[in-house]
Structure formats: C-alpha cells, structure tokens
Chain A
Amino acid sequence: MTPVVQLRGVVKIYHMGAVEVRALRGVDLEIHKGEFVAIMGPSGSGKSTLLHLVGCLDRPTSGEYRLEGQDVSRLDDDTLSEVRNRRIGFVFQTFNLLPRLSALQNVELPMVYAGVPRRLRRQRALELLGRVGLADRVHHRPRELSGGQQQRVAVARALANEPSILLADEPTGNLDSRSGEEVLALFQELNEAGATIALVTHDPEVAGHARRVVTLRDGHVVRDEPVHSPRRARDELRLMPAGPDG
C-alpha cells in the first residue's frame, strides 16, 4: 500500500543572512495509514522543520516528498495551499485559533477555503465539535474557552476536510497535565478510528502515547522504533484528580 508520507533523502538548508543552517541532512521516513508516530528530538534537531515539510508549509531543498504517492516537493505556493487544505490537518502548540471567530467559525474555516457550501459546512462543523466534546460551546470565542477546550476546537478544525494526516506540534505544550492528557486521549481515539497522526514533541511521556517513535538529532533520523505498550491516556486520566475541565 502507498505510504501516506514518503520522504527520500530530504535535505533542508536555510540561509539566515550569511549563515547556512542545515536543518535536515538527508531524511528517509515513511508513515503509513493508521499510524500514530511521535517525532522526538532535542531543540535544533530539525523536528519542527520536518513537520513543516510534511505539512507542506515548506519545500525541501533537495530530496523527494510523496504525499499519498503524489510528489509535492516542487509544487507552487497556491497548490501547496490546496494540499494543506484537503490533506493536512494541523494542531499547534499555541492552538492558533482566530480570536474573532467563534469555535464553530474556526472549525468551518478550512471548509470555507475548500468551497464547501455554507449549510454543509455548518452541519459538519457542529458534528466535529460534538465529536471533541464541545457541542455546548460552539458559539464561544477562543478566549471564552479553556486551553484544553481551545485545543479540542483546533483538533476539530484539523479534521474538517478529512485530511490524510493529522500533524501536531507540541499539542500539549501549553496545557496543564490533565488537559494535555485529554488531548492525547482524543488523538488515541481518532487513531483507533483510523486516523493517521504525526506528533512532534520533546517530551518522552507524550511520545509514549504514540505507537512508534522517530528520534531526530542534527538533521538525521537516529532511531525509529515501535512503542511496545503505549501509555493509555484514558487510564492515565483515571489516576489524575478531576481538573477544571471536568
């Protein structure tokens, strides 16, 4: 079966003024449908760069990136926008919701750019917010929601156009441990339902929730191994005292 993500010899070099930064120095990586991969590494290891490339926010300097078999390493900006819109779902550390829009409108946003008709869009956004447990918060603005709730809105937004892969960049980094665990529980549920997920983190405990851990160092993949018994977020939650989010 065609892998969802297939990187071959991917190199990424930045020029920051006169300084050349070699963020990725030849990365080979495959992520298959239904996987839950954690990408780990210390800061400066190139994991954020890798996430940007996989998320089609950027193009590799050299090497090849195939997304579901299609070479996307040389596409122009607008085509990359379309690829991100239809096939990538982003979840960021800082949530990155639009503050003026309600939870519902935030979830609708990718569908607006996909040209989904208004009524269908609304219906699907409501459905997604229900799925992440926010059916009673659809008209709240981000600042009226807790961090955990905001991140769940972000997850709902990421799922809006049924992407091929969900990419999360330190999704628990700005959350208390309980809210973080809840987001991880959501990821695990989505993964069990068939979603492909790649999660970037520097935290081994967070990475322990994935089923496979890829470790980066100095722009190389230095380790790529399965997690034999992933931590179950639902079980962890049971051991925690009840938080403000309930």
Chain B
Amino acid sequence: MGLWEAVEQAWDALRANPLRSVLTTLGVVIGVAAVIALVSVGQAARSRVVGEFASLGPDLLWVLPGKAEEGQQFATQEGRFTLTFADAQAIEREARAVAGVAPWLQTSIEVSGGGRREVTTVIGTTANYLEIRGLRLLEGRFLSEADMQRRKRVVVLGEVLARQLFGSPRWALGRRITINGRAFEVVGVLRPQGQVLGVDLDDRAYIPFSTAQLLFQVNYASFLFVKAQDTASVLRAQREVERVLRREHGEEDFTVLTQSQFLGALDAILRILTIALSSIAAISLLVGGIGIMNIMLVSVTERTREIGIRKAVGARRGDLLVQFLVEAVAISLVGGVLGMGVGLGASWAIAARLLDQPPTASASLPVVVLAFSFSVLVGVVFGTYPAWRAARLDPIEALRYE
C-alpha cells in the first residue's frame, strides 16, 4: 500500500470522529504552542537584557562583595557587606587604568512629595555615576562632590518618579520629597532610560552615597561601578582593582567582573531559565502525545473488526502499522503546524508587550524547526504502540469481534 493511500485512509478515519480528532489535536497544539512561545520569549528576553547591559559600555566593571566560587561568576550571599566607600576611593586613587568609581547602595522604600506617596528605589551613589553610566540630565544638576562631602539631603529624580510625584519633571526642581522621615531637595531630573524586563530605570531617586549610609544606618556599599580608561584597558583595570582591594581587605572577599564576564553570567542564567521554562512547556507536549496514544488505542479497539476485514482481504502487518501510524502522525503534525502558528502569535504578542520588541524571525526559525520535528516525533513515538497492537491482531479473532 502506498503512502498516499495511507494518508487518504487516515484522513477518512479522522473525519469519522471529528470532535475526538480535534480534541486530540488540541493537546498537541497547546504543547507545541507553549514550547515555541516560551523558547522564543526567553530568547527575546535574553537578547534584550544582554543588549541592555552591553549598551552600558564595554569599558565597565563591577565590583561585587564576596568571592565567587571557582567556575562561577557570582558570589554566594556570604560577605555581602565587605565593600566600603574607602575601597572606592582607594581604587580611584591607585588604579591607573581606572577612569572613575561610583559606589552603589540601593533600597526600596516609600517616598512622599507633591502630596503623593510612591514606593520607589532609592540609590546612594556619587557624582561619578553620571559620567560612568553616560546618563544625561533633563532638568537641574546631578549629585556633586560637595553634596557627598557635606552629606547634603539633595535628590536627583528619575523622569517617571518626577512625573508621578509632581506631574511634570519641570515642576519637580526645587521641591521637597521625604525619604525615611527626612526632607530632601530635588536638584535635578534625569533623562528617561527605559525599562529592563519590567524594571523601570526611571522610577528611581538618587541621593549622595554618604547621605544614604547615614539615612539607612549602614557602612557598606552594595557594589561598585568602575569605568576603565578605555576599552583596551579593561583587563588591566580589573587586575589593578583586584590588587588594590586585596591589599585593602587583606583577603579576597570580593569579585571583579568585566562587562563581558557579567554578560556571560547573565546570559547563562537567562539561558537556564529559558531551558527550565521550555522543559515545563515540553511536559504539556508530552501530555499531548499521551492523548494521541490514548485515542489511538481506543481507535484500534473500536476498529478491531475493520482490522480483521483488512487482514482477511490481504493487509500485511506493515500495511496496518503504516495506516495507524500515519493517523497518529497526522494528528501530531496538524497539531504541530497549528501550535506553531499559535505559539509564534503568542510569543510575538508577549514580546511586544513585555519587551517592546517582537522576536526576530531568525531567532524563531530553529525553534520552529525543533517544534515541528518534535511534534512528528511525538506522533511516531506515541502512535507506534497502538499501531503495533493493530498490526499483530489475529484476523480470525478480529473478525469475530463485536
């Protein structure tokens, strides 16, 4: 029997039970759609986040508290409080390949101003930060050296926070906001930076690092931003920073990451996340496959007599195997194609919403090929056993079956 005959037969058989066929197909549609959507959204998120960090500039380094284990980029929670402002000063003073250092102390807290209250991220840093991150001002000025030395209670707002509190960035200048019970004067508003993975970089308030330490009663920095003189001196800067800190601390309780190392680590984490999510989605594809197997087993039992008749008129085991296998693969293939459409549509919508960018076709192509072959594989794997059961039926018993 030719393959085309088998395809025609499968189509007839599937049409005989439309609702059952549609529901079984739906199982595969959902599985394939879930895999495609999660993988492509994961990929898009990864490229987006990596892109965001890459745009910070290739000459950036991070100094993180705690020593990363061998083979890992990020430290465990231990030694969170080992970095200080003195470290930042020492690096700035001694590391020749370093252009600037900005300490960073961050906390989430409610602030009030303009008659409103907002929970926002308050960041303590120094004047250097503006230049290190290459940020631009919309209004007023950024934090200054003098603010830092005198622990002044001045604040620079992100554009979104300024609008939330005062209606417009323009009206924020010179106004007061209250952080942790203390009044701060707004001296500047930053230009919008946008969002990274739903985190709004403009919903922030920057205060002098020294003021922040006083305000929150701590003496450490969350981490330090370091800018190398230029791209070529990044690795030299890394070595110098390590040398200075080793001497200052007397031990290696910190980690210095270059941008590419940071990106690599970030990329690895996001990759694992994507794989984990897709594996969960793959389970639904597995369930879809089990649905196919279940329905094919029912179908083989229901059609025992048909199988007997076919055998009596000369069907070989291979003919029946092919017939039922083609039915199973037809379900999974149709499910795969529809699921691909749904999955791509969903990932497009999700990406457009969450990441402000549709996933690119080139990123989706391998996913599509993978999901497609996977759905065919599901049909073959879960269709083989029922088809084999059909093929090995004894014709006499099958003909007697009521």
Contact = CB atoms under 8 A, between A and B. Distances in A.
Interface of A: 52, 55, 57-58, 77-78, 81-82, 84-86, 90, 92, 96-98, 100-101, 109-110, 112-115, 157, 160-161
Nearest to B320: A81
29 contacts: A55-B312, A57-B395, A57-B399, A77-B316, A78-B317, A81-B316, A81-B317, A82-B314, A84-B311, A84-B313, A84-B314, A86-B314, A90-B313, A92-B399, A96-B305, A96-B312, A96-B399, A98-B306, A98-B309, A98-B310, A100-B12, A100-B16, A109-B310, A110-B313, A112-B1, A113-B313, A114-B314, A115-B2, A161-B314
A121 to B, nearest CB: 10
Nearest to A92: B399
Nearest to B16: A100
A197 B398 CA distance: 24
Contact of A85 (B305, B306, B313): B313
A81 B315 contact: yes
B312 A115 contact: no
B396 A81 contact: no
Given A78-B316, A100-B12, 6 more contacts: A77-B317, A81-B311, A82-B316, A84-B313, A113-B1, A113-B315
A85 B318 CA distance: 14
Most chain B CB neighbours (cut-off 10 Å) among A82, A92, A96: A96
Contacts of A97: 309
Interface in B24-66: none
Given A96-B309, A112-B1, A58 B315 contact: no
Contact of B318 (A78, A90, A100, A115): A78
Interface in B289-335: 305-306, 308-319
A157 B309 CA distance: 11
A57 B1 contact: no
Contacts of A57: 311-312, 395-396, 399
B317 A52 contact: no
* The 8 A-B residue pairs with the shortest CB-CB distance in the complex, in nearest-first order: A85-B314, A113-B314, A110-B313, A78-B316, A81-B316, A96-B309, A57-B395, A84-B314
Main secondary structure of the interface of B (DSSP, over half): helix
B5 interface: yes
Contacts, number: 63
Report which residue of B12, B306, B314, B396 has the largest number of chain A beta carbons within 10 angstroms of its beta carbon: B314
Contacts of A157: 313
Interface string B193-237: 000000000000000000000000000000000000000000000
B13 interface: yes
Contact of B314 (A52, A58, A98, A110): A110
A81 B305 CA distance: 16
Contacts of A100: 12-13, 16
Interface string B4-16: 0100000011001
A109 to B, nearest CB: 5
B18 to A, nearest CB: 13
A120 to B, nearest CB: 14
Contacts of B315: 81, 85, 113
Interface in B169-204: none
Nearest to B309: A96
A114 B12 CA distance: 21
A124 to B, nearest CB: 14
Contacts of A52: 396
Contacts of B5: 112
A90 B312 contact: yes
Contacts of A84: 311-314
A107 B310 CA distance: 12
A90 B311 CA distance: 11
B273 to A, nearest CB: 49
A9 to B, nearest CB: 22
A115 B1 CA distance: 6
Contacts of A77: 316-317
Contacts of A82: 314, 316
Contacts of B317: 77-78, 81
Nearest to A113: B314
Contacts of A55: 312
A13 to B, nearest CB: 15
A55 B86 CA distance: 99
A100 B9 CA distance: 10
A94 B34 CA distance: 48
A84 B65 CA distance: 82
Contacts of A96: 305, 308-309, 312, 399
A53 B13 CA distance: 31
Nearest to B395: A57
A96 B396 CA distance: 13
A149 to B, nearest CB: 18
Contacts of B399: 57, 92, 96
Most buried by B among A84, A97, A112, A115: A112
A97 B309 CA distance: 8
A90 B2 CA distance: 24
Contacts of B308: 96
B194 to A, nearest CB: 60
Nearest to A109: B313
Contacts of B309: 96-98
A92 B318 CA distance: 25
